[in-house]
Structure formats: structure tokens, C-alpha cells
Structure 1
């Protein structure tokens, strides 16, 4: 069996019939992995805002005060360069996984997929199995149908609201957010964002569902350029399965002139995207493996060997071996590792203090009543740690100069303080009209927290 991975050949066949997709609930090895992984990811998403570190929320992206706290690190807008590194690392990691395992991101860990399957699980528990849901939708409206639909949509809305509130807890302290919610003290801005995110979750997971993956998400459109003949994909063994046809369990398919595919259509009914994997590789496939579980279950019932549908590469399908050390895969892995290493090195070498020297624009210098030259400055100092720190300021570049500055400067964690500073010097001792000087700001608690800023001392 061979399958072509060119994009133009991936879209020549209809992938599903028109109308809503009623996903059949399926158990099996890959579904178990998906479900357990989904629970871990959801619980992690909910739990992270409740983690405490040094007596405060461990992860908090406070947009209002422009403080972004991740455990012991505090990031400010000046540190946003790291976002570029994060996006680059994420992109290359996605390319690496896609080249290796196809669209497993979509099938196993994408939030859209996880919430869509959660909504489907709720729908199954309230409205019943796939056939019952189809029958319910075709039946006329009555008390039972209204009750079931109301219960389902109420559960969807509750999940959506809880999801949105959990997401907002990353930007607003979780305890304050929930206390304000129960006391009805949310501001208009908070209410707007919570209900907007809830509406998006409700619409995407409840109604758009697979259309977000097949129409809105650009990843499904450009994924084929990252595939090669060694990429593991969900494939159907047409040589073994065709000609497909229905039969009784005890009938010999060879006597009937049939292959192993019993044409039960379960592989289509369990597919979240509603495609028929037997039509060949299609860009809508999210590599979730549900069709593998459904087909293996059917093969087991008929006493046939499993693996009619399975993960394999094109090389494996043609009897060759998959090359795990191909250049493209190693390149993506190397770039991902290098970017992550760069981020780690940057984080470890990052100075937990930021400072700038601001001169008085109206007067570069002034002469006091003693005939000495004074230069006024403003030191803007940011404490990037999460604890209150004490700093001292020293001056270099001017001998015997007087530095008027507080002996000890205390700044709370994540806060910025502007400190007025005056440097006084006898102008006759200086040969240059603009003498280079430097201010050194050093922590009293930690010797490694130290920063030096350059400026000039002017005279007449």
C-alpha cells in the first residue's frame, strides 16, 4: 500500500458527508491515552493559578501593573524579548513533532480537541449514544427533548464559564477573582473578558467543533510540507482490507472474495473530523487514533489480526524501514534544543535589577552659592526580584565629588522607584566640559545583584 502525501492529492476526495457529525464513543488503547492526558492537562490548567510560591501566586501575568511572575522570576515589559524565543521554540518543537508523528498535537493535546471531546462526553451522558442523539435531533420538539437539550447546554455553559474563569486567574489573583465572583463585585472589564472567553469556549467546543480544525486552523493547511515518507501517520492497509464488504463472523472472507475490512463504518463514526480514513490520507485527519481503536475492536471480534488501521509511515507501508535519523527531523530537534538552551542561559544570566539614568532636560548643570557645579539626575530603579531589596548607590569617574543620595534605598519586589540624585564637584578641577561618570547600584542582600549605568557630568 502507498499513499501520496502531496497536498493537492490530500483534498481530492470528499472527507465526510454534509451535516453535523455525531461522534460515537469509543474505548481502546489510544483513547485511554488521550483521555488520561486530557485530564492531566485540564487539571494542570486549573491548578496552576492556585500554586503558591514565597507566599504569593506562583504564576501571575498582571497586565495592569505590567508584572509577569513565574515562580521565582519576575518579568517586565523590558524582558519581552523572551516571548520571541518562546514562540520560536514552540514553532520548531511543533515542526519536529509533526515531522515525526504527524498531527498528534491536534489529536492529543490541542485545547480545541480536549474541550471538544469533553463537550461530546457530556452530550453522550445526557442525550445518550450516537444513535439516540441522531434520533433525538430528528424527533419533534417536546418536553423530553427540551429537558435534555436544556440540561446539555446548561452543562456546556457551566464548563465554559469555569474554563474562562480559570483562564482569567492567570491574569488576576485567583483568590481575589473568585471572591469577587461570589460577592458579585467583578468590574465591567473582568466581566467582559470572562463572558467573552466563555462564549468562545461554548461556541468552539459545542458548535464549531471540527470546523475549527478543518476550516479555521491554519495548521491543517500547511502540515503537509512537514511530512515526509518516514512520518508516522494513521493509515489504512488497503491491500489487506479490500475488497471490503459485510459478512457474518464465521464466514471465511477468502471464500467470499473479500478483504479483512467488514465495512462496519465504525472508523468513520468515531472520527472527530468525520472522515473516512479508508479514502487515503486527508488533511482533516488529526492523528488521534480513534479509528485504530474502533477497527482493532472489530478485528478482534471477527478473529482477524489487528492493525488494519494503524500508525505507520509510507516507507513501512511499502515494506521499507523508517529512518529515525533523517536530516529534517534532526534539524528541527537541534534548533528546538538550541533555542531552549538559549532561553535557559538568558534566564540564568539575567540581572534581577533594571536601572536608567535620566538627566534634567531643563538644566544640564547649575552653580550653587559656594561656586560648586551641581548636576541633577534621576535614577529609575526596578527590583525584578519578588522580595524587598535594599540598594546602595556609588559614583565612579569623579574624584572627591559629593554624591547626594539616600544611604540605603529599599524597593519592594517587582516595583520601580525613581530616586533624585545630585552630584557636586568643583568645576576648576575638571578639564573637560563633559566628564564621563558611572553610577553603580548594588544590593546589600545579594552581591550578585549589581548594575552600572553611564552618564556625563557637565560644567560651564
Structure 2
């Protein structure tokens, strides 16, 4: 049985094993079966997970490549002569491909965050922590760090041996190579992060010729340092002790949520055996107690102890267990994605409707649908120009040279589009009313700019007695184009103070 991993029991055994140890089990007859506890990850020591190979490992690689393509490559795309995605905080303007958002559009940014939040809640209720296992930045960066470890130092056993070996030229060379690769990775990660908030095609050359701004350099250095700290130094400690999502996920879980589970009914009682052994005669389950599921776990837990908040749903244990089942000629799925209800035989494991048609899923889904609808409707009806009418409080009302009563206003015009626009205006409210102050031919507002201009509204004194009177501004605007312009109309209400 040389091809089946056989762990060596440690000298130290415990009666109450932790999540990182393999627990004692009992045979189906009910009589206790004693076994040594295999201490895979001693408390306080760094976890060195074994590399897992299999279908879910390939999915994780695909997820890492997809998410990092978005992070590292999208900022280099151009759209209409500017960076496709840019959160320009100094200029208070956000660009997301064809969508241009200003400070007046923060409601849409809030709706986007709500969509992400409720989308995560809805997805977690259905499929557990798949986000954590495949797309969470902490998981993704940790996975990349593990790739570097594996590339330079080798797999788990070689890394453990290297850690215990004395410092010599070979160890220094290996460690220096690893940290050089890590430094290059975190440095470029920090630079890319800053490139989401500064035009990256300008920031990168400026960084290397020493003309980059201090704020952008600080952002790049801080994000790079935090990537190194969280993904390389702390790693699983973030998931175990710092991540709030791990703590409140139980509020979204129920017995119909898809989770990674060990089938104790099939696996127990566990125990080592030869590949040719008859498990029925030896009264053993399918689990051979190899502890491979623990060795590959990036957070060092034993999934056979049941669902634990530390589990990030990465499915490394499934790949490891399936590989052992193949070697033993046992069916796959001793550890698998399933639900507590399916394990208890409340319904068939392939009953998708049972998992989806439940009140919690419908509730989160309904809220998500409302927020998505509000976002889409708001974006579709959003004006490319906004006008704020600010009453001049310095002079409430005065008489102009025509003998009419006059009120002064400041028009703050915000052009959210990426083209120059021309604004004209009229005012209503009295039979005789006049608007002055706008340039002849209209106010030209540059792309993505805010322009403030003073205007005056006047009327015959007989129409505006003492007090406040409602008036209405009607603004017409259109982009500056060579062809026939397509004007839009914006109506804003204000008041006129009479004498």
C-alpha cells in the first residue's frame, strides 16, 4: 500500500482533539474505538498546506486568474480617450467604462455597494462560502503566495524540512529568491491599486522618474505592505480571527445551505487499512484516516469534525479525499459539497428546488432585485447635467434700472458627460418675468466640469407682493456636436421674494 499516504502518530495524544487534529471515532456498533490523534498543525506554528490537485483546484486557479485579470489589466484599458475605469477622488469624479459619475451621483455608488452586499448575502444563503473560497481578495492573494512558496521551496514536506534546517547558503538563497518574488508581486500590486485612483498610464512613468504625487505613492506603498502582511505573514490568521464575515455567516446558513461536509455515515468508523482489505470484514468505513484533508486545508481545520466557521469553502479537502478514494477504488464524495438536509436524508441531494425555494433565499433575492431595479432605473433616467439654484442671501430683493423687482441667484451647473454642453434657460412664475445673466447663445460647460454663474430674475412690482412666490426655471441643454443637437430639458423650482 505504498501509494496510499499513511500518517505517523505523534507521541502526544489528546482526549479532546482540536479542529486541527484528527478526532477519535466510534464504530457503528456503538463501542468506542480508540486511535492516536494525528497532530498535523501544532498549535502556534505556521500552517504549510499541501498542494491539492483536482477539479476544484483548477476552478480556484481559474478564479484567481479571472479576478486578477480584472484587477491588474482593466486599469490599462482606455475608453473614449481616457482610462476606462478610474475613481478620480481629487477631481471627485468616477468613470466606469461609459458611465461617468460625479459627487451628485453618490447615490448610485451606494446602490452598487448595496447590490454587492445583498448579492453576497443571497449567494451565501444558497451556496455557503464559495465567495471566500474562490474570489475573496484574502484567499486570492494567499493562494498566490502559496504558489510562490511551492515554486521556490517545494511542496509541504520540503517546506517543513527547510524550516527546520539550519541557516546556510542554500537556505539563504532559497529564502532570498522567494522574498524577491514576493516583493515584486506586492510592489506591482500596490502600484496597480494606486492606478485605480490615478491615471495609471501617467502614474507608472511618474513613479519611476520621481515625479509621482506623494498621496499616490503612499497608497501604493500602503496597499503593497498590507498585501504582504495579510497574505504572507498572517495568512489563515485573517480568516480565523479577523474576518467579520466568518463570524456572522451562521446567521445566513441553514440546513439547506450548500456547504463542504464529511459524510460520517459512510466514513465511520475510520481507520487505516491495506488497499486490498475488506472494509466490511474489518468493520470500517471508507475513511482510511490518512488526514490528507487536513494537510491540504489552508486554515488547518479537520472537516471531519463538522462544519466550522473557519472553513472558507475552498474544496481543497474534497480534491485530496477524492484522490485517495480513487486510489482505494472507493466511490468519490466522502467529502463533498452538500447540505445538512441531504446528509440527513430529508430530501434527495440533487433536489435543487428544495434548496432554492425557501423563504430566506426569496427574501434576500427580493431585496436584491429591488436594489438592482432601482439602480438600473436611476441610471437609465439620470440626467447628464445637473443645475443647483442657490438664492443670493446678500440682497433678498432690489429694484433694477427698469423699476422692476429683482432677485439674484447663483446657478451651479454640473456637466457629468464627457463632452462640452451648452445650457440655455427660461423662467416662469409671473405674467411678466425676465431672466438675465446668461451669455448670449447659452452657457458653455466643459466636459466633467462644474461652472457657477450669477443670474437675475425680475418682474413688475404689481405681480410680486410681499412674501415668497414660487417660480420655475426651465433649462435646455445639448452636447456640442457637428450634427443636429438633441436637446434635453431640466426643470427646477425656486422662489422669488417680493417687496
Same fold (TM over 0.5): yes
Does residue 196 (structure 1) correspond to residue 222 (structure 2)? The answer is: yes
Give the ranges of 4+ consecutive aligned residues of structure 1 lying more than 6 Å apart after TM superposition: none
After TM superposition, give the deviation of residue 453 of structure 1 in Å: 2.2
Superimposed CA distance per residue, residues 275-320 of structure 1 (whole angstroms, 9 cap, x where no aligned partner): 1111111111111111111011011011111111111111211223
CA RMSD of aligned residues (A): 1.9
420-429 vs 200-209, greater mean Cα deviation:
420-429
> Is the helix fraction higher in 1 or 2?
1
Hey, what does 1:28 align to over in structure 2?
54
Does residue 378 (structure 1) correspond to residue 404 (structure 2)? The answer is: no
Please report the TM-score for the alignment, with normalisation by the length of structure 2. 0.86
Which residue, 323, 326, 330 being the options, matches 1:300? 326
Contact kept? 2:478, 2:487, Cα under 8 Å: no
Contact kept? 2:430, 2:463, Cα under 8 Å: no
- Classify 1:458/1:283 alpha carbon distance in 2 versus 1 (closer, same or farther; 3 Å): closer
Hey, what does 2:150 align to over in structure 1?
124
Count of residue pairs the alignment pairs up: 449
Instruction: Determine helix, strand or coil for the equivalent of 1:20.
Output: coil
Instruction: Determine helix, strand or coil for the equivalent of 1:356.
Output: strand
- Classify 1:428/1:259 alpha carbon distance in 2 versus 1 (closer, same or farther; 3 Å): closer
Q: Counterparts of 1:374 and 1:326 in 2: how far apart (Å)? A: 64
Contact kept? 1:392, 1:444, Cα under 8 Å: no
Which residue, 372, 376, 380 being the options, matches 1:340? 372
Hey, what does 2:34 align to over in structure 1?
none
- Classify 1:455/1:275 alpha carbon distance in 2 versus 1 (closer, same or farther; 3 Å): same
Contact kept? 2:470, 2:494, Cα under 8 Å: yes
Hey, what does 1:406 align to over in structure 2?
439
Hey, what does 2:476 align to over in structure 1?
442
Hey, what does 1:100 align to over in structure 2?
126
Query: RCO higher in 1 or 2 (8 Å CA, sep ≥ 6)?
Result: 1
Q: Counterparts of 2:113 and 2:282 in 1: how far apart (Å)? A: 56
Hey, what does 1:152 align to over in structure 2?
178
Unaligned runs of 5+ in 1: 1-11
Hey, what does 2:457 align to over in structure 1?
423
After TM superposition, give the deviation of residue 369 of structure 1 in Å: 4.3
Does residue 352 (structure 1) correspond to residue 356 (structure 2)? The answer is: no
After TM superposition, give the deviation of residue 368 of structure 1 in Å: 3.6
Hey, what does 1:314 align to over in structure 2?
340
Does residue 456 (structure 1) correspond to residue 495 (structure 2)? The answer is: yes
Q: Counterparts of 1:436 and 1:161 in 2: how far apart (Å)? A: 59
Which residue, 67, 74, 78 being the options, matches 2:100? 74
- Classify 1:277/1:448 alpha carbon distance in 2 versus 1 (closer, same or farther; 3 Å): farther
Contact kept? 1:353, 1:381, Cα under 8 Å: yes
Which residue, 412, 415, 420 being the options, matches 1:388? 420
Hey, what does 1:249 align to over in structure 2?
275
Hey, what does 1:291 align to over in structure 2?
317
Hey, what does 2:24 align to over in structure 1?
none
- Classify 1:230/1:424 alpha carbon distance in 2 versus 1 (closer, same or farther; 3 Å): closer
Please report the TM-score for the alignment, with normalisation by the length of structure 1. 0.93
Contact kept? 2:423, 2:475, Cα under 8 Å: yes
